[in-house]
């Protein structure tokens, strides 16, 4: 019995050694994605979206952004490309200015919790939004979509952004470890969800309107944008326009069958905000890519 036992132990040790060697080889040669994001990584990542929202809403309502209103938050990052004041009525301008001020608070709250990074280069030009609409429709719109032209165009353009941040916060929440981080993300999520609800409500009221000069309804614009985001994110349905068919009429909020908000991972968010469907291929609103450890990991992956 003894030699047999010894042989078996020897065999086990050999197998164990082989396993350890193989593990070491795969650890040193295969670059694995950072699955275990730290709280700091997960709190810094959404700064990318908060910067975008702050600039889009401040410029849209005031005609200037962080460099005038809160330059310390921009930390010398390059000014956004093509952002400008929108032709808005009193109600929408009022709402959008409030959103802009909320985003300043969000930037301040995140950056007082984690170090963060300066404002990344943002492309908020008319053509950047026009490209998204062209992809959403699968053909170029004539004339190209102008987010800054009027209330309805600006609201449709706004539909593109806070919702993505909202799904990102829902996705980040279960990955967070400490109470400080969870408290911050819950606070951010609440207000992003509120912004999305306000935008959706204003659009819902006008869902049957035809957007000039395309002759396409507001509902169809939102459906197409949501479908595009689902396609770019590439992880199933996590996004629903106002005309999404459900057993009950109406779809004022986007949520799953239990009316819970959909979660998205940082990779899905990057695929959407880059417009490329690939977290390693920057573009869209972020010509040079997003910042922070998570986004940079995927950029350097190429
Ligand atoms: C919790 O996370 C925050 C943000 O990352 C950090 O500043 C703080 O030190 C952490 N607290 C504990 C107790 O780990
Ligand atoms: C929700 O339920 C409907 C009907 O049962 C089903 O077709 C759909 O796939 C479900 N959606 C999700 C996201 O689970
Ligand atoms: C994403 O882009 C990188 C760099 O171009 C490429 O290597 C990778 O295959 C792409 N991933 C997908 C899923 O297309």
Percentage of the chain lying above the pLDDT 90 cut: 83
For ligand 1, the distance from its centroid to the CA atom of residue 36, given in whole angstroms, is: 16
Instruction: Give the helix/strand (H/E) hosting 216.
Output: strand 216-217
Q: Which has the closest alpha carbon to 228: 273, 182, 288, 285?
A: 273
CA dihedral for 46, 49, 52, 57, sign (positive or negative): negative
Which residues surround ligand 1 with Cβ inside 6 Å? Answer: 39-40, 43, 113-114, 178, 180-181
State the DSSP string of 243-290.
T---SSS--SS---TTS-PPP--HHHHHHHHTSSS-TTS-BTTBTT--
Q: Per-residue pLDDT tens for 219-276?
A: 999 999 999 999 999 999 999 999 866 556 678 999 998 999 999 999 999 999 999 9
The rounded radius of gyration (Å) of the Cα atoms in the chain is 23
Which ligand is nearest the CA of 115, by number? 1
Query: What is the phi/psi pair of residue 246, to 5°?
Result: -130, 165
Query: What is the phi/psi pair of residue 266, to 5°?
Result: -55, -35
Report which protein residue has its CA nearest ligand 2's atom 6: 257
Instruction: Give the helix/strand (H/E) hosting 7.
Output: helix 2-29
In this predicted structure, what is the pLDDT of residue 28? 35
Report which protein residue has its CA nearest ligand 2's atom 2: 257
- Positions of the chain with pLDDT lower than 50, given as ranges: 1-3, 5-6, 9-11, 13-16, 18-32
Q: Which has the closest alpha carbon to 274: 159, 123, 146, 137?
A: 123
Rounded Cα–Cα distance for residues 293 and 201 (Å) = 35
In this predicted structure, what is the pLDDT of residue 161? 85
81 DSSP β-pair partners: 123
Tokens of 185: 């993300």
In this predicted structure, what is the pLDDT of residue 49? 97
């Amino acid at each position: 019995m003894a030699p047999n036992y010894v042989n078996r132990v020897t065999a086990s040790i050999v197998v164990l050694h082989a396993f350890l060697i193989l593990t070491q080889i795969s650890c040193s040669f295969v670059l694995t994605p950072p699955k275990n994001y730290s709280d700091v990584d997960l709190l810094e990542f959404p700064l990318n979206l908060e910067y975008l929202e702050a600039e889009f809403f401040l410029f849209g309502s005031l005609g200037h952004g962080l460099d005038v209103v809160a330059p310390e938050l921009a930390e010398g990052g390059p000014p956004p490309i093509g952002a400008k004041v929108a032709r808005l009525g009193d109600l929408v301008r009022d709402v959008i200015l409030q959103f802009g001020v909320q985003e300043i608070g969000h930037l301040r709250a995140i950056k007082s919790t984690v170090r963060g990074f300066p404002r990344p280069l943002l492309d908020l030009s008319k053509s950047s939004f026009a490209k998204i609409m062209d992809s959403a429709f699968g053909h170029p719109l004539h004339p190209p979509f102008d987010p800054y032209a009027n209330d309805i165009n600006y609201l449709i353009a706004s539909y593109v952004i806070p919702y993505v941040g909202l799904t990102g916060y829902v996705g980040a929440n279960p990955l967070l470890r400490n109470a400080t981080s969870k408290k911050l993300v819950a606070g951010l999520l609440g207000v992003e969800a509120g912004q999305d609800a306000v935008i959706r409500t204003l659009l819902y009221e006008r869902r049957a309107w035809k957007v000039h000069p395309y002759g396409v309804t507001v509902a169809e614009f939102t459906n197409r944008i949501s479908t595009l985001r689902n396609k770019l994110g590439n992880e199933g349905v996590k996004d629903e326009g106002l005309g999404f068919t459900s057993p009950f009429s109406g779809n004022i909020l986007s949520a799953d069958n239990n009316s819970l908000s959909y979660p998205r991972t940082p990779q899905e968010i990057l695929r959407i905000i880059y417009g490329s469907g690939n977290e390693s291929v920057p573009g869209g609103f972020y010509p040079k890519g997003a910042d922070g450890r998570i986004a940079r990991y995927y950029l350097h992956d190429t």
